[in-house]
Structure formats: C-alpha cells, structure tokens
Amino acid sequence: MSEKRVILQVKGLSKDFQIKGKKLGSKKAVLHALQEIDLDIHEGEVLGVIGESGCGKSTLGRCLVGLHKPTEGEILFEGKSILGVRAKDKLEMCRNIQMIFQDPYSSLDPRHTAADSVSEPMVVHKTVKGRAAMEQRVLELLKQVGLDVQHMNRYPHEFSGGQRQRLNVARAISINPRMIICDEPVSALDVSIQAQVINLLKKLQKEYNLTYVFISHDLSVVKYVSDRIVIMYLGRIVEICNGGDIYKNPLHPYTQALLSAIPPECPDEEKERIVLQGEVPSPIGERKGCPLAGRCPQCMERCKNEMPRLKQQGEEGHQVACFLYEKK
Amino acid sequence: MGEVLLTVNDLKTYFYTVSGVSKAVDGVSFHINRGEIMGIVGESGSGKSVASSSIIRLLPARTGKIVSGSIDFDGTDVLKLGKRELLSFRGRDVSMIFQNPMTSLSPVFKVGHQMVEMICAHHKVSRQEAYRMGEEALRKVGIPDAGRRMDSYPYELSGGMCQRVIIAMSLCSNPKLIIADEPTTALDVTVQAQVLELLKDMREKNGMAILLITHNLGVVWQMCDSVMVMYAGKTVEYTTCKELHHNPLHPYTWGLLDSMPKLSSNSGEELATIQGTPPDLRLTGTCCNFSNRCPYAEDLCRNQVPDLKELEPGHFVACHRQGVESRLFRGGVKQHE
C-alpha cells in the first residue's frame, strides 16, 4: 500500500459510565472505560485490538458503530463526524459501519428464520425492492458465507455455533458496508470452526475491500488476521504497531508481559516469563500516572505521577506510550 | 512417579434422552501415574468433560449412565463404591476444579464459611481449627491478605482470585488426583499463566496427579506429560506430550494442530481447516466418527469402527489408515499404497 487513506479517525475519545455508589444515597462513582483514544484506521486494513477483559476494547468497538455515545472526543468517518448527526444521516452512517458480535447464540433472534435475520438490514435500509429480488439476494449472501438454500428457512437453534456466526457475517455484509467491527467473533467457537470463520472473514475482505476492526483477547488470532495491532490496557492505548512487530519487537512492558503469558507453541519451548504482579486495577475513580505503574517491573518515579503519551518509536507506525523510551 | 494411580478401561458413558441414546463417551481407556499431569484435549461435545466426571461418578442421576468399563483408583473399584463411600472418595482422594470460578462458589456465603464447611466435611477438626487451615491454604495459593479474604463474598473477588480459592479448597484435603476441567478458559491470558504456574507448583510440592481438560493445545504443551485427544466420544490418539507434537499420527490431530493460528506463522497464508462439523452423538458407533470430515477416508473407514492400536511404544492411535505396514503421511502425500 503506497497511499494509505484514512477511513475512520478517532480523536481524543473518552467514555465514562456513571455507576451507583456502594451504599444507598452515596455519591455516584465514575468508571472511565475509555480515556483519550487517538486512532486512525486506514481503508482496507485489519486493525486488531487486544487487551484483557475490562480494558475497554468492546466499548471502543461499540463507540465506533454508535452504540455508545462518547463522553468526549470525535469520531470522523471519511472526514464527517458520526456523532450528533440527524436521524436521516445516521441511517446512512450505519450502512457504512456494521458489527459482528461475540456470542453467536444471543445475537440472532430465535424467532426469526435465517432468511429473516439476513434480510432485516436490507429491509431497514431499503436497499432491495420486491420479494423475489430479496430472496435472490439472501441466497447469494448465504452462498457467500458457505451456507445454502436449505438453510434459508431454518431457525437459529437448528444451527451450530459456527453456522450461526456465518449468518451474522452474512447479515453484516448484506448492505455492503465499508467497515465491519468484529467484537470477538471467534472466541465462542472451537479451534477447527474458528479457522473456518477466520478464513471466511479474510476471503470477504479481499472480495469487497473491507476494513475490519478485529477485537479479541486471543493474541495469536489477532496476530494472524491483523495488519496493525492496538494494545489496550485500562481504557488507554499503550502500543500501536504493525502485525509482525508485536512478536519481533514488543516495546511496552505490558505487551512484553502479555506475550510471555501466552502458552507455548511446542512442548520444548522454554519461555522466559515476565510476570505482572497483582491484578488489573479498577477503572473506577480518578487516577494519575501510568495505568500500569503499580504492576510494572520497570516502574520509575515519573510513571506514578505523569501520564505517558503515545509517541512514535523506531519503525514507522510503531507508537508506544511509555516513559522508558522517552529519555532518548 | 511411575506407579499407576488411576486406570480407566473401556469406559462407556451414555445419556438416555427423549430423542435417543447419546454416546457421550464410547470406549475410552487411559491411565495416570502418581504425580503425572495428563491432558485431555478435544472440541466441545467430544466427551472430555463427561469422561472426567465419570471418574468421580458425577453424572445426572436419571439420564447419565456408565454402561460398561472399569475405573480403578489406587486399588479401589470406583464403580462399586456405595453412596457413603463415594462422598468421602470425592473431595478426599479426588477433587475437581470446574471451568467457571464464579459459579462454583456459592454467592451467598463468605469464602471462609465455604472453606470451613469443606474442611469439616472431610476432617475431624473443630471449626476454629478448620478456619485456621483454610486461611493457611489461601496463603499457600498466593492470595494476598488471606485473613481478610476469608471474610469476603465471592463477588468481591476477581475471576483469577476465585479460581485460586477453589484450588485452595481442593488442596485442603491433600487429594491424590485433581481433575481440572478447563480451569483457565474463563480467565485472561496473564491470569491464566498465573493459575497454571500455581497448579504446576502445587504438583511439585504435594506430588498429586492432575488430569487437565482443555481445548487449548498451548496449555497442554506447557503443562502435560501425556495427552489424549478425544473426538466424538472416542480416543483418537493417546501418547506423550512431546510425541504428539513431533509425531502426530491421527488425521484429526493434524487438523487440530494446523487450524491453530500461530504467533510465529505468516499471516498471508490461509489457515488450514477441518471441513464440516462433528457428528451427532446419537448416530455414532457404526463407522470411524471422523470419516465424514477426513480427507483420507476410505470405504473401510465408513463401515467399521477403528480400534485403538499401539503403533509405536506408548503411542496409541485409532485409525484404519494408520497401520504397522501402511502409513499415512501428514500433508496428504500417500505413500506405501
């Protein structure tokens, strides 16, 4: 890729949730799910987002499709803000960005047949007119994801997990979106089925020049599908790098720890483990300093008081938020 | 090590449901030595959990039945144990760690209360003594501030902490075997690494054997000495961990190994997949269960159930195409035909 066109731009995105206090009548606390996220997504790329549970990766995905209203910041799709637009324009926006959810069991209406589920977005967006044309289009979509005509009138409970996820994919691509947010699309599937769905997603990407944001907690899956990878920790981006670099040259201490925690690929492999002490701190309430400060083996005095910013480091496109690399 | 602790021979566990007999476990044999970590891998529905629950006879009373086979644990025939003996067998000799740490603890009792209850059931000690033992056990599994944790409810602890509490509980009675059914599936990778490390540590210190059930081959490589691959209720391959990695023989194992994305592999190439889906467990038992998805299947595979054969010393495979004189080779090249 010579000229990378930015399709979606995220500027200073923050999302807070108000949560109830522990005691009756006590003040409400604020949970900072996302803090000051800056991100450019290029056209036709797969952007992997990885992090532990509670780090805000799903919230980020939901903000991008407009399921959450961000507290602060802007999201620009091809230069136009997708926030605060009129209802009519919003429909247009939704057409461009679609989402595939994690749980294939709960993301399909149990009372809709496969054909109903897949055709619903096309009915809402009025892209296909007439019953015969709709049926034709649904069949075409089903064939594209590896299902067939006999599956059209079945209900979700008659499908296996992998087939259901295929239906979700068919539904997402039904209105020709430019971008698909995949929120843990393969986490609920078995390895052999997982490989089938990953291959399907890759095939469709090539066919339609789709842009994916691929959210997962499984580093090997993310590494496999992504061109660039975003590593998140406690609502912040700690590192952005190209797909290959994460394995060869991880910079942030958190990324290094994450890599060392992955089970080995063969029984002879001896891994040097970087163990992070303790657990992920709670995102509730205010904090200052680097989010990893309490667990980082290389924590400095400065980390406890200041928040490191994402800075370019080394190769092009490799950004890291850590003071360790700022001195030089 | 070296001494056999548990022998399971030709175990068959069927479920009698309204729509037919589901052969969840259909002829599984293996053995575990003292201090050994054995892994069972397989996809969901392959019968790995049912096989392990059968060892402590934890099956739904109405529908689940062990139809045939024998389970010998340290000289006792588990299948002949009475109700009362079974109670002391579970928990004292064999304890189990379940997949979801949040649901295996009762949400309405404090951690301390649940630990005391557990300890009092198996040891003749006073409640004060049991409380002290519980606190000690929590400290052993690396829970900081164990005294205060005894006084917390499970919802106040994170998933990793809950799993530690459960491991602590199962260690209290000093069992000879721990069955860990997907102990880390619900946890994050960094926490998973901590929990696995803890299990390994406990093995070193107490010398108990561990039966680890998982669908993650990476976990197997890290933890296990021997491993059994299950598919649709049957053992397809059973050997040592290193042998399985360097010289897998069953086509299903090949598919499983190839379909895992690897960190070091190139992302340009397509992932190998196993076509199709696992068979309905009510209809199995007439052919090789893998024959409908196997690229090497022949007529024989579709008409006859393959036996588990020892092809190399300590390496068992159930495949018609893998024999002493004719061998399949991974990657589709058929030699010796």
pLDDT band at B337 (very low <50, low <70, confident <90, very high): very low
Decide if A18 contacts A2 (C-beta within 8 A): no
CA–CA gap between residue A15 and residue B226 (Å, rounded): 48
pLDDT at residue number B266: 64
Helices (H), chain A: 57-65, 87-96, 114-124, 131-144, 161-173, 191-208, 219-225, 245-248, 253-261, 301-305
The mean pLDDT of B55-83, rounded to a whole number, is: 89
Q: How far apart are CA A222 and CA A46, in angstroms?
A: 9
Contacts with A31 (C-beta within 8 Å, 6 or more apart), sequence order: A16, A17, A18, A19, A283, A284
Q: Which of A241, A234, A216, A248 is nearest to A296 (CA)?
A: A234
State yes or no: pLDDT of A68 exceeds 60.
yes
At residue B333, does pLDDT exceed 50? Answer: no
**What pLDDT sits at residue A1?**
45
* pLDDT, mean of residues B43-71: 88
H/E stretch holding B164 reads helix B159-172
Q: Say which of A53, A224, A267 has its CB closest to residue B261.
A: A224
Given a cut of 80, whether residue B218 has pLDDT beyond it is: yes
pLDDT at A273 over 80: no
Query: What pLDDT was estimated at residue B13?
Result: 93
Sign of CA dihedral A147, A149, A151, A153: positive
Mean pLDDT, range B57-73, rounded to an integer: 89
**pTM of the predicted model as reported, rounded to 2 decimal places:** 0.85
Rg of chain B in Å (alpha carbons): 21
B215 touches chain A (CB under 8 A): yes
| Nearest alpha carbon to residue A322 among A261, A229, A246, A253 | A253
Query: Interface of chain A against chain B, CB under 8 Å?
Result: 52-53, 160, 162-163, 190-196, 198-199, 202, 217, 219-221, 223-226, 243, 247, 257-269, 273, 275-276, 278-279
Contact residues on chain A for B182, CB-CB shorter than 8 A: none
The number of helix segments (H) and strand segments (E) in chain A equals 10, 12
CB < 8 Å & 24+ apart, contacts of B139-146:
B140/B168, B140/B171, B141/B165, B141/B167, B141/B168, B141/B171, B141/B198, B141/B202, B142/B194, B142/B198, B143/B168, B144/A278
Which of A260, A265, A280 best probes binding to B when mutated, by most B CB atoms within 10 angstroms? A265
Partners of B71 in the β-ladder: B8
Q: How far apart are CA A151 and CA A146, in angstroms?
A: 10
Residue B84 neighbours by CB distance under 10 Å: 8
pLDDT tier for residue A85 given thresholds of 50, 70 and 90 = confident
Amino acid of residue A131: R
Question: What is the identity of the amino acid at A32?
Answer: H
Is residue B106 scored above 70 in pLDDT?
A: yes
Q: Are A51 and A255 contacting, i.e. CB atoms less than 8 angstroms apart? A: no
What pLDDT, on the 0 to 100 scale, is given for residue A327?
64
- Which of B158, B216, B259 has the CB atom closest to A263's CB atom? B216
Residue-level pLDDT at B174: 85
Whether B262 and chain A come into contact, CB under 8 Å, resolves to yes
Give residue A56's pLDDT band: very low, low, confident or very high (50, 70, 90): confident
Q: Distance between CA atoms of B19 and B23, rounded to whole angstroms?
A: 12
Q: How far is CA B230 from the centre of its chain?
A: 10
With bands split at pLDDT 50, 70 and 90, how would you rate the model's confidence at B315? Answer: very high
Please report, rounded to a whole number, the percentage of residues in chain B having pLDDT higher than 90. Answer: 30
Alpha carbon distance B32, A181 (integer Å): 46
Identify any residues that bridge with A11 across adjacent strands, giving them in sequence order: A74
CA dist., res. B70 & res. B55, Å (int) = 10
By Cβ distance, the residue of B188, B197, B215 closest to A190 is B215
Q: What residues of A are in contact with residue B262 (Cβ under 8 Å)?
A: 220, 224, 265
Residue B173 confidence (pLDDT): 81
Judge whether A314 and A321 are in contact, CB under 8 Å. no
pLDDT attached to residue B268: 63
- % pLDDT > 70, chain A: 97
Sequence-distant (6+) residues with CB within 8 A of B208 are B35, B174, B175, B176, B177, B178, B202
Q: Render pLDDT for B234-292 as a digit per residue (tens, 0 to 9).
A: 999 999 999 998 889 999 999 888 888 877 766 667 778 888 778 888 888 888 989 88
- pLDDT of residue B331 exceeding 80, the answer is no
- What are the phi and psi torsion angles at A31 (to 5°)? -100, 120
Q: Which of A110-119, A211-220, B256-265 has the lowest mean pLDDT?
A: B256-265
Q: Is the pLDDT of residue B334 over 50?
A: no
B81 Cα to chain A: minimum distance (Å): 36
Cα gap A84→A90, rounded to integer Å: 9
* Residue B336 in this model has a pLDDT that exceeds 50: no
Residue bearing the bigger pLDDT, A247 or B209:
B209
For residue range A280-319, list pLDDT tens digits in order.
777 887 778 888 888 888 888 888 888 888 888 877 788 8
**Percentage of residues in chain A with pLDDT exceeding 90?**
34
Average pLDDT over residues B88-95: 87
Measuring CA to CA, how many Å separate A140 from each of A109, A115, A120, A145? 21, 11, 15, 9
Supply the angle between the helices A191-208 and A161-173 in degrees, to the nearest 10: 10
Q: Find the CB nearest B255 among A192, A221, A261.
A: A192
Dump pLDDT digits (tens) for A139-197.
Answer: 999 998 988 888 899 999 888 888 899 999 999 999 999 999 999 888 888 888 888 89
Give the gap in angstroms from C-alpha A271 to the nearest C-alpha of chain B: 10
The pLDDT of residue A3: 60
**Which of A58, A274, A279 is the mutation pick for testing B, counting most B CBs within 10 A?**
A279
What's residue A2's pLDDT?
Answer: 45
ipTM value: 0.79
Owner of token pair 């260690």: B171
> Could you give the dihedral angle defined by the CA atoms of residues A314, A317, A323 and A326, in that order, rounded to the nearest 10 degrees?
50
Helix and strand counts by DSSP (H, E) for chain B: 11, 12
d(CA A294, CA A276): 9
Q: Do A243 and B267 touch (CB under 8 A)?
A: yes
> Which segments within B75-195 are labelled E, that is strand?
76-77, 94-97, 177-181
> Per DSSP, what are the bridge partners of residue B4?
B33
Compute the distance between CA of residue B157 and CA of residue B105 in angstroms, rounded to an integer. Answer: 11
